[in-house]
Structure 1
Amino acid sequence: MKEPSKKVWDTLAKVHEGTVAEVAISFDKLYTLQELESILYSTFEAQEMPPTPVWYALDTGQERIDEEDFILHGGEVIGFPEHINLPDSEAERPKTKEDEVIEMMRILSEHKKTVSKTTWTLEKELNLDKRYEYVKENGVKIYGIVITGPSKELLKLQNSPHVRYATLGDIEIWNWFDY
């Protein structure tokens, strides 16, 4: 296990049970959304309210250095939230999450000038046309997620053979009054 990941698990083991945390993890390989759902389902033992991914890192063909590694640079990372809000149009609504992601990539590709300005990244560095074509041809594959949930539940991810690397985000006291 990589040293920074060990610190994540050690920290989660030490924090109080009444806390929730956010953990970003990268996987040992690319997974489809269905495969990922199955991995998380088995990791969290089919709980009624398991920890939930809030963001997915999307493989767009630009992230890979080699088969063993993925790089993450702010402007180059493309991902999507658990709930994608596509603009309303006359076109038929995408039927699956995969269709929504592909539609999202199409929209980003069509509006690359705006994306470039809002991300402060040069259009040529974004490669949105290539990324869109890649996702359309190769399908929606995930190489990492940001997941939130009870700190002690997230600790179960440390034993998953699918998790290659982890970083810790926020840890907060669970707010019982919000529900």
Structure 2
Amino acid sequence: MITMVREKALGFSLGASDYLTKPVEWPRLKAALDRFGRESAPGRALMIARDESTRADLREILVREGWIVDEAASADAALGIMEGDPPDLVLADVEMPGSGGIGLMRRLRKNPDWAGIPVIAVSAGETSEDQRARLEGEVRQIVQTGESGSEDELVAELRRIAAAPQRPRRPQERG
């Protein structure tokens, strides 16, 4: 709230978060802005899914949770993004064609620069015991889209990842 009236109590009663007078004391203004400034994003997420509706649903959840989102429709496109600027989180569709999401996840874990990136497997349907066994040790969590409670489960995991200490970045990575 900006006003010319010097009524601090009135300003706070109307919902002001701070009260500054003119002439502006720049250090005090900066301190107020720093205190109430927007928190930075938890990081960058790479979402890999062939199906556009799945990507749209996941994108909405990620953006709502504050993540910056990159998207890929194939494992090859995802690997290209990973080589250029690895994300802080990967969400990968298990049912991708070709080597599929499971093959992609294994490739991520074999690369020492990517091994520490959290990976969440996304499945549109029921995950078979074989798929679960192949994903064990490769992903943090398997989320079944469209299942009751799956969005809450995904949001809880995104918040745990965001709250965890950031992984160390190498000098060639973005800062």
Tell me the TM-score range normalised by the shorter chain: under 0.3
**TM-score, structure 2 length as denominator?**
0.24
Q: Which has the higher contact order (CA 8 A, sep 6+)?
A: 1
Q: More strand per residue: 1 or 2? A: 1
**TM-score, structure 1 length as denominator?**
0.23
Q: Which has the larger radius of gyration?
A: 2
